[in-house]
Structure 1
Amino acid sequence: MSVSLYYSAGRALPLTGAETAAVGAVLAARGSSFPFQDEEGLHLYDGGGEPDEVLDGSTRMPADPGRLLPVIVHVLDSVTALRRALPGARWRVHLDDLDVPWDEEDGYALPGMRDTDSGF
């Protein structure tokens, strides 16, 4: 059975040129530091989402338990960087049916998986 992390941002105004460039920079930086090149990393869809949705995507989680935690941590850190690049957007991040909470200081993390808890 496959588990995926889904992320989306919405607002009435489309992305500005500067925001589009910032999203591209996040994708490039986070893609180059992804821990497993043979696993799916941060993946944004090409439009066609909900009305007022300016960004959406998903990442399929690895089946290998030894890779799961590093991938979740990396992708949530990437989504945190995207959220900070798009101020004023309404975000929804969830691992299948489990909403991932936002923390202003630490960003996105699953409960009990903050850097100090997980060793990452």
Structure 2
Amino acid sequence: MSVSLYYSAGRAVPLTAAETAAVEAVVAARESSFPFQDEEGLHLYDGGGEPDEVLDGSTRIPADPGRLLPVIAHVLDSVTELRRALPGARWRVHLDDLDVPWDEGDGYALPGMRGTGRAF
């Protein structure tokens, strides 16, 4: 059984050139710091999503218990950076059917992960 983390941002106005560049910079930086080259990290789709959707993607979560939390933490930190780069967008982040809450100070984290420093 596969579990995935899904993320999407929507708004009526498309991304500006500056926002597109900011998204690309976040993706490049997060890809280079991803801890496991043989696992799926932040994965953005190539358009074609829902109306008014400006960004969407998903990450398949590894079954290996030793990799599960580091991958989730890294991807949620990545999505936190993306959200902060796209002000005014409506975000939805969820782990299959579980919505991942947003906190203005900490960003995205699963319940129980907040305040842990998320260094696994």
TM-score normalised by L of structure 1:
0.97
8 Å contact kept, 1:62–1:68:
yes
8 Å contact kept, 1:10–1:90:
yes
Partner of 2:52: 52
State the SS of the aligned residue for 2:113.
Answer: coil
2:1 is equivalent to residue 4 of structure 1: no
2:67 is aligned with what amino acid? R
Partner of 2:103: 103
RMSD over aligned Cα, in angstroms? 1.1
Separation in 1, partners of 2:93, 2:50: 15
> Any stretches of 5+ residues in structure 1 without a counterpart?
none
The CA deviation string for residues 25-52 of structure 1, in whole angstroms up to 9 with x for no partner, is: 0000000000000000000000110000
Separation in 1, partners of 2:54, 2:118: 32
Which contiguous aligned blocks of 4+ residues in structure 1 show a shift greater than 3 angstroms? 117-120
State the SS of the aligned residue for 2:116.
Answer: helix
Query: How much identity, in percent, do the aligned residues show?
Result: 89
2:76 is aligned with what amino acid? L
The CA deviation string for residues 47-103 of structure 1, in whole angstroms up to 9 with x for no partner, is: 110000000000000010100000000000000000000000000000000000000
Partner of 1:91: 91
1:99 is aligned with what amino acid? D
Cα gap change, 1:22/1:119 in structure 2, threshold over 3 Å: closer, same or farther? closer
TM-score normalised by L of structure 2:
0.97
Separation in 1, partners of 2:6, 2:116: 24
Separation in 1, partners of 2:68, 2:93: 17
8 Å contact kept, 2:101–2:108:
yes
Separation in 1, partners of 2:80, 2:45: 17
Partner of 2:73: 73
State the SS of the aligned residue for 1:29.
Answer: helix
